[in-house]
Structure 1
Amino acid sequence: MNGTEEIGCCGAYCKICREFEKTCKGCKPGYLDGSRDLGRAKCRMKKCCLTKGHVTCADCEEYDRCEIIQAFLNHPGYKYAKYKQALEFIHAHDYSAFLKAAEYWKNAYGKYPK
């Protein structure tokens, strides 16, 4: 997947998280290769995204009207606005542009090129 397995369905960039693959397995590892049962996942967003074969919710034609992702992104808090920004950046550009922008981030979100 060219590094995209480290991007959460919600737009979070999990690669730089200290807990990624220690205590948090993230959205995709295990589900992509079948070693974890997607049917047992608790996250509705992850189930929907991965069942449809998308990398993130940015790939979905229903993104703007999907109650699952929109309810998540509309939570109050800075990080949710940043996850929304990530999905919109991916939708407008592509995954390689996102990964390039995220290369030096220190958190699950960061700044984008102008």
Structure 2
Amino acid sequence: MDIKNYFVNSEIKTKDFGNGIRRKILSYNDNLMIVEVYFDENAEMEVHAHPHEQITYIIEGEFEFNIDGNKRICKPGDSTYKQANIKHGAVCRKKGKLIDIFTPCRQDFLDKQ
């Protein structure tokens, strides 16, 4: 992957995935990726797993996370950590926005751009 040092927000397209979820890949390289994700109220990210480590930081809204069957409400300023291959998902209880950080980079996200 070629190294890119600057990612200008106004030039980045938001991808609509339906079901009230949209995302914008803010920046990335082989080993790291940061993504802004927008959720409509009651939008649900189905329980899933992937080989990437993930940290989520809640900017706006209220989310009910399910990490390995353990559910918890998270609000602005809260964060979560998901180790590789752990089952996780979320339901947005109040319209929200969060930041997801992945290592390594989610090539599957780039392939769907």
For the aligned pair, the TM-score class normalised by the smaller chain equals under 0.3
- TM-score, length basis structure 2: 0.26
- TM-score, length basis structure 1: 0.26
Q: Which has the higher helix share?
A: 1
